[in-house]
Amino acid sequence: MNISIDGKQVYVYTNNKEIDPARQSVVFVHGAGFDHSVWTLFARHFSRHNWNVLAIDLPGHGRSGGDSLTSIEAMATWIIAVIDSCGIAQSALVGHSMGSLIALETGARLGTRASKVVLIGSISPMPVSDPILDATANKPSTAHSMLTSFSFSKNNLMGGNPNPGMWMVSDSMRRYEDEQQAALDLDMRACNQYQRGLEAAGEITAPTLMLHGDADRLTPLKATQPLLKALKQGRMDVVPGSGHSLMVEDPNHVLDQLRLHLG
């Protein structure tokens, strides 16, 4: 589905269904350098169970027009504009990595309009190392390789996807390569600069699930505790054997937890 925000085309994957404000709604927010397609399995499931699903391409990503936004705060403002344009009064928010920071900020601003929140692969602050920032700015192919290498547990770098014929490493590389070069760099800098996460977490009134791989090397499990403690109604589920790319490393576990948390 295409809509317009500030005169720019926005692509929202809805599983080819019209938005019905009377139904429950869930908004999926992708991570840095990716697009809505990381959520296809989960969006289809909730759509089949009579939810409105909005898997959004952020500006300058995927099929959405405009320039990439440069701060998590600006992205949250934009997400709320999309929700409002669809006539949705209340929605659940699900975000991965950078998308989890956007979900944090959005959930804080929406207050009771956020029914549930899910943060996948999330820590706050979410610092990005200088070598990665140098690569995203000047050596994009190197950045793609670095981020892909660190996104998976060491075991899953060698294979192990539950979907036959799917090689997770190649899939990740192709996703990065398909995006505009500037998008990944701006996204990583936005993550690095966002400092309001713990404050935003304390403002969220909705029950919040943190999903984290025990072998995550980009946002280590040991760094999750400040965010978990800041949440008023937070709980953690640890995915054994998985790294940062939970949605492809263990999609069935992620889906089971989404179903349990969102209801």
pLDDT tens for each residue of 211-239: 999 999 999 999 999 999 999 999 999 99
Beta-carbon count within 10 A of 136 CB: 27
Identity of the amino acid at 200: A
Beta-carbon count within 10 A of 105 CB: 29
> Can you give the pLDDT at residue 150?
84
* Burial class of residue 49, CB neighbours in 10 A (0-12, 13-18, 19+): exposed
> Can you give the pLDDT at residue 155?
74
> Can you give the pLDDT at residue 170?
66
Q: Into how many domains does the chain fold?
A: 1
Query: Mean pLDDT lowest for which of 86-95, 178-187, 239-248?
Result: 178-187
Please say whether the beta carbons of 57 and 84 come within 8 A.
no
CA distance 57 to 194: 20
The pair phi, psi for residue 115, each rounded to 5°, is -80, -45
Query: Which residue range is the domain that position 240 belongs to?
Result: 2-262
Please say whether the beta carbons of 207 and 93 come within 8 A.
no
Please say whether the beta carbons of 194 and 101 come within 8 A.
yes
* Burial class of residue 211, CB neighbours in 10 A (0-12, 13-18, 19+): buried
> Can you give the pLDDT at residue 166?
56
CATH number, domain of 240, equals 3.40.50.1820
Residue 198 or residue 152, greater confidence: 198
Mean pLDDT of 168-193: 81
The answer to whether residue 96 scores a pLDDT higher than 90 is yes
> Can you give the pLDDT at residue 54?
98
Beta-carbon count within 10 A of 121 CB: 28
The pTM of this model reads 0.94
Strands (E), 77-131: 91-96, 114-120
